[in-house]
């Protein structure tokens, strides 16, 4: 049997509650990531997405189950798994360049100063920050800080890149620009990426596969939706693809109507693989039932 | 901004000048005119009563002292520079010793909840003790007044540095620690590359409080141990009833204290960061 690059099996997390049964956030979460794949996970707040990501990172310990990466169990954080946090987590006393160099130096301690600098500058160039190398995070806008954070994570060339709602705190315009940059860097580096998002459009733009989580407590990864849209994708053109709204409506329908329905996906089940585009005729493009804004609000509420 | 600075500087000068003028007028001594009485001749024309000197007299003395601050004419007549030098030497020795112990211990206390629980009650009992209360014990055990004064400075400056270091280290943002963890930094590298710079502003606040307290305490300590130092100098001049010198040394204590604080606030600015 060929093993996947990352395998999450029987993962469970519960918190002890005072004189009551422990609160089970999720139980028996199973999924796998293939090498070079971009996978997004979507679910309502409180279903434990961030905890799953932290467990993948090795920052959090699961109550049950395990994460296997490259055939070895994940125990504790490692440079093989880079993380971009929602709140950027830049070290505020270091300049943008020094923040990236911090990661590069940790990854390749034997490198010379010039090598570290050259490598770091290259990745800051990729995110379009070559003009702000010496600025401290407090002198950068939110979008620029997140770019530094992304550059730091990509520069260490981890085998698995974990993004915890990286664009959650950014305005829509900035978000669009950085999403495009992320797609560009990812297509250049072909790293495996696992990303949490609340934004259905963002997931469709970026991912090969979208994992849908049911509502917590006792959440599971219910479905694994194959995003069968051609690459390279552009924000402006992807929405005109005939399958786009089929996929989009499928996701929104799950989040709004089905994520609370526990019957369909009991514990123990592996996520059901779905490809909405192969079931429906691609030419039958359904009209969006609600306005984009309303769907977004539903999806994140 | 700069015009505001200039205006406050002018106002400051005006205030000092008017206060000095009032002081000068209030303390002006009547200039004797005419013949000296027999008693006055016997006293050599001295003023029969001690009085608070006018600022002009203080200024004259200041000029005299500051133009030759390092003269040494025996144990009871040394220049102001020498006296301040002794005090600074004691303050800095006690302070540096305290920093060498307080910062590492504060680090451990801040990083380990066990050590915090164990040491906190001890610190809380020792901290409110007036540093001078240690003096008799120090004199008995150390049997040297000079070293005892340094010990008193040590004991009074250790607490703010220790507590601030512990607080700063314990409150380093979890995210930054996670950054260190995900980059597989060793504990030692984490301490130096992440925790130390993150806690540095808080640590320097503690150091600034400590140097202020140490400079307050040295004057009192030197009044007790005697021999040299600015505190001893003030007391000695009081015994000589030389109020001009007393006022002059009070001003010098203030100036040196301000300089010490300036140095540390400069250091604090160097490590300050904004989030």
Is A46 contained in some domain?
Answer: yes
pLDDT in tens, B87-120: 999 999 999 999 999 999 999 999 999 999 999 9
Q: Above 70 in pLDDT, residue B143?
A: yes
Which range has the top average pLDDT, A71-75, A233-237, B11-15?
B11-15
Mean pLDDT of chain A: 84
Residue B202, CA distances (Å) to A217, B49, B85, B128, B135 in order: 41, 52, 29, 21, 30
Q: Above 60 in pLDDT, residue A152?
A: yes
pLDDT in tens, A5-59: 999 988 888 888 887 788 888 888 889 999 999 999 998 887 888 899 999 999 9
Angstrom distance (rounded) from CA A38 to CA A196: 11
ipTM of the complex: 0.81
pLDDT of residue A296: 45
Task: Clarify whether residues A69 and A89 are in a common domain.
Answer: no
Report CB contact under 8 Å: B184, A79.
Answer: yes
Among candidates A77, A78, A89 on the partner chain, residue whose Cβ is nearest the Cβ of B176: A89
Q: Above 60 in pLDDT, residue B69?
A: yes
Domain ranges of chain B: 54-271
Report CB contact under 8 Å: A92, B274.
Answer: yes
Mean pLDDT of chain B: 91
Is A235 contained in some domain?
Answer: yes
Among candidates A79, A92, A106 on the partner chain, residue whose Cβ is nearest the Cβ of B275: A92
Task: Clarify whether residues A166 and A132 are in a common domain.
Answer: no
To the nearest whole angstrom, how far is the Cα of B259 from the nearest Cα of chain A?
27
pLDDT in tens, B151-162: 999 999 999 999
Specify the range with the lowest mean pLDDT, choosing from A112-116, A223-227, A291-295, B16-20: A291-295
Angstrom distance (rounded) from CA A199 to CA A169: 12
Q: Above 60 in pLDDT, residue A280?
A: no
Q: Above 60 in pLDDT, residue A123?
A: yes
Domain containing residue A101: 81-157
pLDDT of residue B202: 96
Angstrom distance (rounded) from CA A60 to CA A75: 9
pLDDT of residue B73: 87
Is A167 contained in some domain?
Answer: yes
β-strand pairing of A81-84 with A160-164: parallel
Vertex B239: Cα angle to B238 and B240 (nearest 5): 90
Question: Predicted confidence band at A292 (pLDDT cuts at 50, 70, 90)?
Answer: very low
β-strand pairing of A160-164 with A192-196: parallel
Report CB contact under 8 Å: A89, B175.
Answer: yes
Task: Clarify whether residues A110 and A193 are in a common domain.
Answer: no
> What's the distance, CA A65 to chain centroid?
21
pLDDT of residue A281: 43
Task: Clarify whether residues A18 and A142 are in a common domain.
Answer: no
Specify the range with the lowest mean pLDDT, choosing from A184-193, B26-35, B184-193, B207-216: B26-35
Share of chain A above pLDDT 70, in %: 89
Interface membership of B273 toward A (CB under 8 Å): yes
Angstrom distance (rounded) from CA A23 to CA B228: 70
Partner residues linked to A23 by β-bridges: A15
Query: Using an 8 Å Cβ cutoff, are A69 and A80 in contact?
Result: yes
pLDDT of residue A300: 46
Q: Above 80 in pLDDT, residue A164?
A: yes
How many other CB atoms are found less than 10 A from the CB of residue A3?
10
Task: Clarify whether residues A147 and A193 are in a common domain.
Answer: no
The structural domain count of chain A equals: 2
Task: Clarify whether residues A22 and A53 are in a common domain.
Answer: yes
Report CB contact under 8 Å: B184, A85.
Answer: no
Query: Using an 8 Å Cβ cutoff, are A200 and A295 in contact?
Result: yes
Question: Predicted confidence band at A100 (pLDDT cuts at 50, 70, 90)?
Answer: very high
Share of chain A above pLDDT 90, in %: 40
**What average pLDDT does this structure show over B167-187?**
93
Task: Clarify whether residues A138 and A55 are in a common domain.
Answer: no
Is A176 contained in some domain?
Answer: no
pLDDT of residue B231: 94
β-strand pairing of A221-226 with A209-213: antiparallel
Q: Which chain A residues are closer than 8 Å to B177 by Cβ?
A: none
> What's the distance, CA B239 to chain centroid?
23
Query: Using an 8 Å Cβ cutoff, are A179 and A216 in contact?
Result: no
Interface membership of B183 toward A (CB under 8 Å): yes
Rg (CA), chain B: 25
Question: Predicted confidence band at A282 (pLDDT cuts at 50, 70, 90)?
Answer: very low
Q: Above 80 in pLDDT, residue A85?
A: yes
Report CB contact under 8 Å: B193, A102.
Answer: yes
Is A181 contained in some domain?
Answer: no
To the nearest whole angstrom, how far is the Cα of B187 from the nearest Cα of chain A?
13
Kindly state the tokens that stand for A87: 């709140």
CATH superfamily, domain B54-271, is MetI-like (1.10.3720.10)
B 199-258 residues with CB below 8 A of A? 200
Sheet bearing A272-274, strands edge to edge: A81-84, A160-164, A192-196, A38-42, A209-213, A221-226, A272-274
The contact set of A with B (CB < 8 A) is: 57-59, 76-79, 81-83, 85, 87, 89, 91-93, 102-103, 106-107, 136-138, 156
To the nearest whole angstrom, how far is the Cα of A189 from the nearest Cα of chain B?
20
Distance spanning both ends of chain A, measured CA to CA = 41
Question: Predicted confidence band at A288 (pLDDT cuts at 50, 70, 90)?
Answer: very low
Determine which of A59, A79, A83, A91 to mutate to test the interface with B (most B C-beta atoms within 10 Å).
Answer: A91
Task: Clarify whether residues A217 and A98 are in a common domain.
Answer: no
Q: Which chain A residues are closer than 8 Å to B193 by Cβ?
A: 102
Q: Where are the alpha helices (DSSP H) in B28-112?
A: 38-42, 55-67, 80-111
Among candidates B181, B274, B275 on the partner chain, residue whose Cβ is nearest the Cβ of A59: B181
Is A11 contained in some domain?
Answer: yes
Angstrom distance (rounded) from CA B262 to CA B248: 21
- Token pair 């000695």 is at which residue? B236
Interface membership of B178 toward A (CB under 8 Å): yes
């Amino acid at each position: 049997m060929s093993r996947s690059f990352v395998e999450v099996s029987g993962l469970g997390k519960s918190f002890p509650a005072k004189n009551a049964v422990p609160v089970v956030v999720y139980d028996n979460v199973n999924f796998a990531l293939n090498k070079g794949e971009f996978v997004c996970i979507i679910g309502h707040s409180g279903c434990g997405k961030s905890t799953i990501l932290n467990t993948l990172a090795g920052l959090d310990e699961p109550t049950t189950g395990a994460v296997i990466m490259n055939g070895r169990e994940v125990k504790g954080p490692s440079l093989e798994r880079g993380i971009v946090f929602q709140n950027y987590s830049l070290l505020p006393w270091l300049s943008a360049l020094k923040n990236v160099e911090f990661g590069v130096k940790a990854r390749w301690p034997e490198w010379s100063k010039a090598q570290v600098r050259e490598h770091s500058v290259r990745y800051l160039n990729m995110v379009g920050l070559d003009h702000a190398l010496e600025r401290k995070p407090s002198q950068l806008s939110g979008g620029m800080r997140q770019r530094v954070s992304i550059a730091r994570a990509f520069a260490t060339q981890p085998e698995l890149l974990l993004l915890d709602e990286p664009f959650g705190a950014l305005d829509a315009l900035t978000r669009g620009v950085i999403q495009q940059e992320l797609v560009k860097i990812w297509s250049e580096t072909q790293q495996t990426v696992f990303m949490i998002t609340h934004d259905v459009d963002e997931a469709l733009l970026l991912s090969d596969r979208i994992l849908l989580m049911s509502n917590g407590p006792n959440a599971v990864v219910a479905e694994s939706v194959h995003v069968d849209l051609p690459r390279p994708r552009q924000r402006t053109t992807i929405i005109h693809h005939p399958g786009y709204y089929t996929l989009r409506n499928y996701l929104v329908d799950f989040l709004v109507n089905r994520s609370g329905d526990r019957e369909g996906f009991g514990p123990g089940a592996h996520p059901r693989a779905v490809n909405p585009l192969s079931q429906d005729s691609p030419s039958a493009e359904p009209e969006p039932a609600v306005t984009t804004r309303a769907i977004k609000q539903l999806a994140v509420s | 901004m700069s015009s505001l600075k200039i205006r406050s500087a002018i106002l400051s000068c005006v205030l000092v000048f008017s206060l000095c003028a009032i002081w000068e007028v209030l303390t002006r001594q009547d200039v004797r005119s005419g013949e000296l009485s027999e008693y006055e001749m016997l006293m050599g024309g001295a003023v029969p009563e001690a009085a608070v000197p006018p600022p002009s007299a203080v200024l004259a003395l200041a000029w005299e002292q500051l133009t030759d601050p390092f003269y040494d004419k025996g144990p009871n007549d040394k220049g102001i520079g020498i006296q301040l030098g002794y005090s600074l030497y004691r303050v800095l020795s006690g302070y540096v010793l305290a920093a060498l112990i307080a910062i590492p211990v504060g680090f451990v206390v801040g990083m380990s909840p066990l050590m915090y629980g164990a040491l906190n009650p001890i610190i809380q009992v020792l901290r409110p003790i007036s540093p001078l209360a240690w003096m008799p014990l120090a004199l008995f055990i150390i049997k040297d007044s000079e070293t005892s004064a340094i010990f008193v400075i040590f004991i009074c400056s250790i607490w703010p540095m220790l507590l601030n270091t512990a607080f700063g280290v314990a409150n380093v943002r979890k995210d930054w620690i996670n950054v260190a963890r995900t980059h597989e930094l060793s504990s030692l590298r984490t301490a130096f590359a992440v925790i130390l710079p993150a806690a540095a502003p808080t640590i320097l606040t503690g150091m600034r409080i400590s140097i202020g307290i140490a400079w307050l305490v040295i004057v009192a300590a030197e009044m007790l141990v005697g021999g040299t130092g600015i505190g001893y100098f003030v007391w000695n001049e009081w015994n000589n009833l030389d109020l001009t010198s007393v006022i002059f040394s009070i001003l010098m204590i203030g100036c040196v204290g301000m300089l010490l604080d300036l140095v540390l606030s400069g250091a604090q600015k160097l490590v300050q960061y904004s989030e």
